[in-house]
Structure 1
Amino acid sequence: MNAADYRSFADAWEDRATIRTRPRRRLEDDARLIYPLSRQPLVLGATFLRECPHQRDFALVQSLYKFIHDVVIFETEIVNRTASSIARGRFPLAYPFACRYDAMTVVVDEDYHALVAMDFMQQTIDLTGIEPIALPAEIELSRAIPAALAHVPEPLRPAAELICVAIAENTLTNDVAAFARDDSVKESVKGLMADHLLDEGRHSTFWTRLVRIYWQGASASDRAALAGMLPVFIERYLTNDIQKAFDLALIEHLHPDPAVRRALAEEAQSLAFPINAQHPLLGNILRFFKGSSMLDSPCVSDALAAYLA
């Protein structure tokens, strides 16, 4: 695909974008979970089940708050930074008007997702009376993207930024899909995620197409330089350091006994997925590399050899 072949999804956006078609989601006061147990394994640990099972809902509510907070950071500070630059014709990589128009719909969608997330957080506070504990000031991408950009020459940093955002948007789509399918959680939470997913499916295609356009016109030397930063990005993106720090802070609110808190912390520290070919999000990332044509380049397959095993 080259820029001349790009076709806008403007009509699909007008017909199906959640900001055009979805009502406000209202949180139910029912017995269903507000956040999936599988997404906060701390509450499934032996120490938690033995010492503080009565704190399960508190832990799940706090985990929802972090998820919402992460969404707001991701969409307003990271995705929209790049999308807005493309839409306004200020991104160093030139794209035709159809791409720029679609980029502006991404900006609108992502700001709307952030607004809906903030509304849902306030509804949760009002219903449960549980205020959020201190939430992280950044997400993994806040660290991973600058680290990746530092590994390429200055002229290639816009392309590196584009690739990193595209990877993240493709990963998020599959992550939200799993959330939306979980029948243990409240219908409003599932609906919130399904709405988000409807837009993110379009976004993931958009970013993949933009990377494909760039990659097919990039020189061999530029491709090689960009391939070299991919392991750096993946390693920092898939780390759970920020989540572990949040879980440790959450544990401080769960039990008054320091010995119990230490036991909870030890269990929490053992919950990370290794960053290798078995990581649950890696399949989504590799599908992006295939769809964007990046994986067709030997320099990329060589750089990702450890994850392709």
Structure 2
Amino acid sequence: MNIANYTSTVDDWERRATIRTRPRRLLENDDKLIYPLCRQPLVLTATFVEQCPQWRDFVLVQSFYKFINDVVIFETEIVDKTARNIAKNRFSVPFPFACRVDAMTVVVDEDYHALVALDFLQQTLDMTGVQPLDLPAHIELSRALPAAQAQAPAHLRDAVELIGVAIAENSVTHDVAAFSKDNSVKASIRGLMADHLFDEGRHAQFWTRLVQHYWQTASPADRDSIAHVLPIFLSHYLTNDLQKNFDLQLIEHLDISSSVRGALRDEVITLAFPITGQHPLMGNIINFLQHSGLLHTPSVTQALNDYLPVPA
């Protein structure tokens, strides 16, 4: 990829971006779910189904609040920051003006996604009367990036940030797609996710193009240094600790017996996916690493050996 020949997608953004084309979505007061059951395994555990199914909607509403909180952190504190620094030419990796214009469209999109998410939080609060519990101040990515950057040479910290954000943008797109197609969920929320997906598909391509360019121009020594910190990034990005802690907090707010509470805690602790190549996000991450060129570098392949699928 020759970044000097980069063609901006701003015209496509003007025609199709959801901030340009979508009306405000309103939450329906119907019997559909506010959050997919498959995304909150707590409500599917044997103990929950048998002992306290009456708490299902409360748990789903609180899980929706956490999801919205995660979106706002992801969009405004992480992706917005990286894209804005690129747009304002404050990034140590230089990009031409056309890239910087596209980066600013990402800033606008992400802040709009956060606005829509907060609007849905308020609509949900007004409709259900359920107040959000204390929501996490961090998401996995906001821990994974500084952990990886701390182990990288100072001159590579922006490059590590670029690659980490690109990994997240590519893996979240597929996650959002599954959410948008779940017919058990309220139509407005599926529409919200479909809108988000529409923009994120463009973002995923944008970040992949930038990483392709960076990786082609990086020195062999810099590539090897970044390869060394990728497992550190993935170990923090793919952890279930924040979700587990949130679920344990949720259990404490249920009006149930101490024995049922203990059984739910035990089941929640077993719900985490192992941080290996079998993790549900790893397929999307591996695809990104292939398309961006990172997996064509032997040191990256070696560093990520534990995450790669075993050849048939």
Q: Classify the TM-score, shorter chain.
A: over 0.9
Alpha-carbon distance in structure 1 between the residues aligned to 2:255 and 2:176: 31
Task: Give the letter for the 1:173 counterpart.
Answer: T
Partner-residue secondary structure (3-state), 1:98: helix
Match in the other structure for 2:280: 280
- Contact kept, 8 Å, 1:43 with 1:56, in 2: the verdict is yes
Match in the other structure for 1:24: 24
TM-score, normalising length from structure 1?
A: 0.99
TM-score, normalising length from structure 2?
A: 0.98
Task: Give the letter for the 2:247 counterpart.
Answer: D
Task: Give the letter for the 1:187 counterpart.
Answer: A
Deviation at 1:3, TM superposition (A): 1.4
Match in the other structure for 1:243: 243
Alpha-carbon distance in structure 1 between the residues aligned to 2:56 and 2:256: 15
Alpha-carbon distance in structure 2 between the residues aligned to 1:43 and 1:75: 28
After TM superposition, what 4+ stretches of structure 1 lie above 6 angstroms from structure 2?
none
- Contact kept, 8 Å, 1:149 with 1:160, in 2: the verdict is yes
Alpha-carbon distance in structure 2 between the residues aligned to 1:255 and 1:229: 44
Listed as ranges, the gaps of 5+ residues in structure 2 are none
Deviations 1:44-102 (A, max 9, x none): 11111111101100000000000000000001000011100000111111100000000
Listed as ranges, the gaps of 5+ residues in structure 1 are none
How many aligned residue pairs are there? 309
Task: Give the letter for the 2:191 counterpart.
Answer: G
Match in the other structure for 1:118: 118
Alpha-carbon distance in structure 1 between the residues aligned to 2:253 and 2:47: 15
Match in the other structure for 1:195: 195
Task: Give the letter for the 1:6 counterpart.
Answer: Y
Partner-residue secondary structure (3-state), 1:272: coil
- Contact kept, 8 Å, 1:2 with 1:216, in 2: the verdict is no
- Contact kept, 8 Å, 1:209 with 1:292, in 2: the verdict is yes
Alpha-carbon distance in structure 1 between the residues aligned to 2:226 and 2:5: 24
Alpha-carbon distance in structure 1 between the residues aligned to 2:293 and 2:6: 15
Match in the other structure for 2:291: 291
Asked if 1:271 corresponds to 2:264, the answer is no
Q: Which moved more, 1:34-43 or 1:255-264?
A: 255-264
Alpha-carbon distance in structure 2 between the residues aligned to 1:90 and 1:154: 15
Deviations 1:222-281 (A, max 9, x none): 000001111110011000100000000000112332221111110011000011111110
Pairing of 1:8-157 with structure 2 (within 5 A): 8-157=8-157
Alpha-carbon distance in structure 2 between the residues aligned to 1:161 and 1:45: 37
Alpha-carbon distance in structure 1 between the residues aligned to 2:166 and 2:260: 42
Alpha-carbon distance in structure 2 between the residues aligned to 1:122 and 1:243: 22
Partner-residue secondary structure (3-state), 1:183: coil
Alpha-carbon distance in structure 1 between the residues aligned to 2:194 and 2:140: 23
Task: Give the letter for the 2:23 counterpart.
Answer: P
- Contact kept, 8 Å, 2:34 with 2:61, in 1: the verdict is yes
Asked if 1:231 corresponds to 2:270, the answer is no
Task: Give the letter for the 1:133 counterpart.
Answer: L
Deviations 1:165-207 (A, max 9, x none): 1001111101101100111101001000000000000000000
Match in the other structure for 1:212: 212
Deviation at 1:2, TM superposition (A): 2.2
- Contact kept, 8 Å, 2:75 with 2:114, in 1: the verdict is yes
- Contact kept, 8 Å, 2:52 with 2:256, in 1: the verdict is no
- Contact kept, 8 Å, 2:177 with 2:194, in 1: the verdict is yes
